Amino acid sequence: MGSEFVKLGIIGIGNMGSSHVKSILEGKTPDIRLVAVSDRREARRQWAKETLSEDVAVFEDGNDLIESRICDAVLIAVPHYQHPELTMLAFEYNQHVLCEKPAGVYTKQVREMNEAAAKSDRVFAMMFNQRTNCLYRKMHEMVTSGELGAMKRMNWIITDWYRTQIYYDSGEWRATWAGEGGGVLLNQCPHQMDLLTWICGTPSKVRAFCHEGKWHDIEVEDDVTAYLEFENGATGVFVTSTGDAPGTNRFEVDMERGKLVCEDGKLILHQLEVNEREFCKTATGGFDKPKCTVMEVETDGKNEQHPGVINAFADKILGKGELVASGEEGIKGLTLSNAMHLSSWLDETLTIPFDEDLFLEELNKRRALSGKKEAKDITFETKGSY
């Protein structure tokens, strides 16, 4: 680049975008220089003018920010449908892209975005900040290395996404098929969709039950239970909701030589002395069980979250390091959430890859009937999700 820092523009300065602005102002991203922001809401633009230096340009529209060519890179933090179109425009203008989750609303659109990225020589990254968490990094290492044998089963209960009605009323795009494209699967759970596919792989079959407006006055899903099957015969269950209080976050992966349980900020390994498959076939007692040792897994303790992803993005641009997650990987978790939606809509088990045209057709039916609501001008302190 011929520069010691990256000139960044942030498109969308709502809950997440303003959080990224604050990280930069607090010096958490030393190789980033904020040079521009944009937002369609006047109140947010006014906040930017009052908070940022005069050197930071303030735009009303993300397209205008990109087309101004004053940035080396953009961070996209706007409603989901706009992620692919803004990303592709930025590539057109030779800019690097860091995109907030999810990559988009439907895989067909995201596939086009990935094709545009492949034709570009720009850096493309996803804001999958949960991949910086030492617990999930260690799970990925232990599961994918094969040291515990093949996966037999996974279960994830992630119901600590509790949201009140006023949260959903705070933005006209929230919790609508036309504005957001989905509910808990598209807003809160893209991180879990990504981590599940990153650690366990993409399932081959999905049967999901997505309950729409079960706990809130919304048109999209706020309660999901899904059964998964993987290529090697392993099975899984994924449960999520924004209506449970208190909620649970327990991620369990059962393998041939043990079990990993991630819960309450700890990763616990139940280590078998022998491979369970071998033990099952050779044991002489019908009620025998393989010996098991339970221990807490040691990690490096690092959990850099959003600033860590931004710093890795800058390092990649400046030739000093690698990304936390490439942008092209965003389609994997979205494939899983799209499959869950379509399975529920059709009331049947879905095989992956699925019919992307059929998914879009079903989504568009819901977008056509999607209601409009008046947004209350409310900004919440972000906790890692829109």
One digit per residue, pLDDT tens: the chain, 386 residues? 456 999 999 999 999 999 999 999 999 999 999 999 999 999 999 999 999 999 999 999 999 999 999 999 999 999 999 999 999 999 999 999 999 999 999 999 999 999 999 999 999 999 999 999 999 999 999 999 999 999 999 999 999 999 999 999 988 888 999 999 999 999 999 999 999 999 999 999 999 999 999 999 999 999 999 999 999 999 999 999 999 999 999 999 999 999 999 999 999 999 999 999 999 999 999 999 999 999 999 999 999 999 999 999 999 999 999 999 999 999 999 999 999 999 999 999 999 999 999 999 999 999 999 986 554 545 555 444 44
| Cβ 196 vs Cβ 337: under 8 Å | no
Question: What is the overall mean pLDDT for the chain?
Answer: 95
H helix or E strand, kind and range, residue 280: helix 276-282
Instruction: Give the pLDDT score at 194.
Output: 98
DSSP secondary structure string for all residues of 315-351:
HHHTTS---SSBGGGHHHHHHHHHHHHHHHHHTS-EE
Task: Please give the C-alpha separations between residue 179 and each of 15, 79, 209, in angstroms, as whole numbers.
Answer: 16, 7, 22
In which residue are the tokens 């940022």 written?
52
Residue type, 151: M
Q: Taking a C-beta distance cutoff of 8 angstroms, is the pair 295, 127 a contact?
A: no
**Both structure tokens of 105:** 């609303």
Largest CA distance in the chain: 78
pLDDT of residue 227: 98
Handedness of CA 240, 244, 248, 252 (dihedral sign): negative
**pLDDT score at 372:** 60
Task: Report helix, strand or coil for 206.
Answer: strand
The pLDDT value given to residue 172: 85
CA-wise closest residue to 382 among 89, 12, 2: 12
pTM higher than 0.75, yes or no?
Answer: yes
Structure confidence at residue 384 (pLDDT): 42
Give the DSSP H or E segment for 278.
helix 276-282
The answer to whether residues 237 and 228 touch, using CB atoms and an 8 Å cutoff, is yes
Between β-strands 205-212 and 350-351, what pairing exists: parallel, antiparallel or unpaired? antiparallel
Which residue spans within the chain are E strands per DSSP? 6-11, 32-38, 57-59, 73-76, 96-99, 124-126, 151-158, 205-212, 221-229, 235-241, 249-255, 258-263, 266-272, 292-296, 350-351
pLDDT score recorded for residue 373 = 55
Task: Give the Å distances, CA to CA, from 166 to 53, 200, 265.
Answer: 33, 35, 29
Single-letter amino acid code for the residue at 304 = E
Give all strands of the β-sheet with 96-99 in edge-to-edge order.
57-59, 32-38, 6-11, 73-76, 96-99, 124-126
Give the model's pLDDT for residue 276.
Answer: 97
**Domains present along the chain, CATH in parentheses:** 6-130+304-326 (3.40.50.720), 133-300+333-368 (3.30.360.10)
